[in-house]
Amino acid sequence: MKPLFARGSYTTLRLLVFVLLSLALMTLDHRQHRLDSARAALSLLIYPVQYLVDLPFRAGTWMAERLSFRTSLLRENSALRNQILLQSAGLQKLSALENENIRLRELFQTSLRVRGEVRAAELLAVDLDPFRRQIVINKGSLHGVTPGLPLLDANGLMGQVINVGPVSSIALLITDPSHAVPVQVSRNGLRALALGTGASDRLDLPYIPTDADIQVGDMLITSGLGGRFPPDYPVAKVVSVDHGPGYPFARIRAVPTAHLEHSREVLLVLGETTPPVPLPEPEPPAAPQKARPSGDKR
Amino acid sequence: MIPTRAHRGWVIALTLLAAFVLTLFPLPAWASLLRPEWVMLALIYWCLALPDRIGIGAAWGMGLLLDAASGTLLGQHALAFALVAYITLKLYARIRRSPLWQQALIVLALVFIEQMLVLWITGIIGQLPWRWGYLLPTFTSMLVWPAVFLVLRHVRRTLRVT
């Protein structure tokens, strides 16, 4: 019953049409970001599949919660209670410090930093392109997510949202090879860029002169330059500094503090205002003059 | 003849959905480098089995969905899938008659073409990180092809998808 020659001589024409169509799509997507709405619509189509893939993991967590013993729950409860107590004690001190900080800033007539609203989101357990570092979260434009929002977990900066669909979004992690975060060393304010490498536990800090004051164990925090990430969130810890005499710059590696591979609950920072005036630390000798616009160069 | 044309399209859709689930299913990092191109394999099968129903258009659409799902440039997988579907359609009569191991070798070539196209485009837009094992999925796709073929043929015959 089937025709002997399927589709006949139109096959090549069809191929040509679809190749041209894909080339046009790729150009629009890459050069002009005109396709964000198309991407959002497609993400809505793909969401049921992602939900389906995520379901066993969700069910596993649910079962583990339901079937755990009363004693272990009680133990966990008391541990959490202790933790809350300790942290709220710390917070009391923090709020006093914050007030003092605001007063001092008013004295110096610099702009205030407003604490942003933070919203929780959950990761969907789905795999994306294995050569890039991206994650899917279960909040989208219906929940107020916009492209560029920073993403945190309990331990530090994770990345930023790049594609927003109605009910889900894709975020780029700081370890993606196309991502850069403007950071500074918390000990002395030395500014740098933390570039992703594609490996999940490694960031590189290029363009730092070999005589710059940076040591193993230094904490890197966001500097807030570039205006994309709010300042003072922990990003990474320096694990190796190589002042090879043959290199023009030191070779510095850092490990992200956020648990990029394990966190399932993440936080989105909505609408934190960053100060227009950069921090008043002295300029390091040959640090990059200006942070390049962080991340998102798709 | 006309009424049989749109016969049991949901079976095809379901197998493609299963391929998507396998593609998105989270695996440890080493295993996700070995992940076969499930959607591509399912498309190749349906192009071989029902070349008058599944062709370049369907492959292109699936590629676009995969682009949206995996966060790559829109049109990247779509282009590669459309090209592979075209080659498969041109050669389906010959591929269909060859023994399974030869089919696996042809699938190796087809998936290689698809992977190279995707990698080229990724490289052109400058997002290619240095990494071993870019072409591992090509080989695993070849290895799983006999299983994919037998399973899908069983599905097609028992459910009489025409």
Residues of the domain holding A218: 34-67+113-274+282-298
In whole angstroms, give the CA distance from residue A36 to residue A30.
11
Return the DSSP state at A209.
Answer: B
State the first-to-last Cα distance of chain A, in angstroms, to the nearest integer. 48
Residue A93 inside a domain? The answer is no
Tell me, what's the pLDDT at B15?
92
In whole angstroms, give the CA distance from residue B100 to residue A261.
39
Residue A75 inside a domain? The answer is no
Q: Please tell me which of the candidates B35, B51, B76 has its beta carbon nearest to residue A6.
A: B51
Parallel, antiparallel or unpaired: strands A191-196 and A156-164: unpaired
Contact between B75 and A23 using a beta-carbon 8 Å cutoff: yes
Element (H, E) at A221: strand A219-222
Contact between B134 and A131 using a beta-carbon 8 Å cutoff: yes
Q: Please tell me which of the candidates A22, A35, A128 has its beta carbon nearest to residue B71.
A: A128
Residue A84 inside a domain? The answer is no
* CATH number for the domain that contains residue B30: 1.10.1760
Residues 23-82 of A with CB under 8 A from B: 23-26, 28-30, 35, 38-39, 42-43, 45-46, 49-50, 52-53, 57
C-alpha distance from residue A51 to each of A86, A263, B86 (Å): 37, 18, 32
Tell me, what's the pLDDT at A272?
54
Contact between A50 and B69 using a beta-carbon 8 Å cutoff: yes
Give the pLDDT confidence of B130-160 residue by residue, as tens digits.
566 778 889 999 999 999 999 999 999 988 8
Contact between B75 and A125 using a beta-carbon 8 Å cutoff: no
Contact between A19 and B29 using a beta-carbon 8 Å cutoff: no
What is the Cβ-side half-sphere exposure of residue B134, based on CA atoms within 13 angstroms? 16
Residues of the domain holding B131: 2-158
Where helices occur in A4-141 by DSSP H, the ranges are 10-27, 36-66, 70-108
**Domain count across chain A:** 1
Tell me, what's the pLDDT at B130?
57
* CATH number for the domain that contains residue A40: 2.40.10.340
Nearest CA in chain A to B29: A130
Residues 186-225 of A with CB under 8 A from B: 197-198, 200
The share of chain B scoring above pLDDT 70, in percent, equals 92
In whole angstroms, give the CA distance from residue B59 to residue B46.
10
Contact between B57 and A23 using a beta-carbon 8 Å cutoff: no
Q: Which residues of A touch B75 (CB under 8 A)?
A: 21-26, 29
Residue A181 inside a domain? The answer is yes
Give B76 to chain A, closest Cα distance, Å. Answer: 7
Give B44 to chain A, closest Cα distance, Å. Answer: 15
State yes or no: pLDDT of B113 exceeds 70. Answer: yes
Tell me, what's the pLDDT at A8?
55
Q: What is the pLDDT along chain A (298 residues), one digit of tens a residue?
A: 455 554 556 788 888 999 999 999 888 888 777 777 888 888 888 888 888 888 888 888 888 888 878 888 899 999 999 999 998 888 888 888 888 888 887 777 655 555 667 888 888 878 777 777 888 898 888 888 888 889 888 888 999 998 888 888 989 999 988 889 999 998 888 899 999 887 888 899 988 888 888 889 999 999 888 888 888 888 999 999 988 778 888 889 999 998 887 778 888 888 654 444 444 454 444 444 444 444 444 4
Residues 6+ apart with CB under 8 A from A92: none
In whole angstroms, give the CA distance from residue A27 to residue A62.
44
Q: At which residue do the structure tokens 């503090």 appear?
A: A257
Contact between B129 and A38 using a beta-carbon 8 Å cutoff: no
Tell me, what's the pLDDT at A289?
44
Tell me, what's the pLDDT at B6?
55
State yes or no: pLDDT of B39 exceeds 90. Answer: yes
Mutate to test the interface with B, among A17, A129, A136 (most CBs of B within 10 A): A129
Contact between B82 and A130 using a beta-carbon 8 Å cutoff: no
Give A37 to chain B, closest Cα distance, Å. Answer: 12
